[in-house]
Amino acid sequence: MKTTLTKRGQMVVPAEIRRRYNMQRGAKLTWLDDGETIRVVVVHPDIVKALRGTGKGYLLTRRLLAERITDCNGNPS
């Protein structure tokens, strides 16, 4: 999809993209520039709620505790 930048630096987010990502009026977008490309990311209004459950199945607590044990064994206080 293509959009055109206006002389005021504005652009329209295509309706298909707005629907797919449930973007409403006032939605916040973050522009990520790595020096070669630009990515636009929708910022959820409640980021904690948006991320809730995304780590499920990765055994994060077990991995964190194992890493702490390794750190303590390698670097005693």
Q: What is the pLDDT of residues 29-50, one digit of tens each?
A: 999 999 999 999 988 888 888 7
The boundaries of the domain holding residue 67 are: 15-74
Q: Does the residue 34 lie in any domain?
A: yes
Give the count of domains, the chain: 1
Q: Does the residue 1 lie in any domain?
A: no
Q: What is the pLDDT of residues 46-68, one digit of tens each?
A: 888 878 888 888 888 999 999 99
Q: From the CB of residue 21, how many other CB atoms can be counted at a distance below 10 Å?
A: 13
Q: In the chain, where does DSSP find H-type helix?
A: 15-20, 47-51, 60-74
Q: Does the residue 10 lie in any domain?
A: no
Taking the complete model, does pTM exceed 0.85, yes or no?
A: no
Q: Does the residue 21 lie in any domain?
A: yes
Q: Does the residue 45 lie in any domain?
A: yes
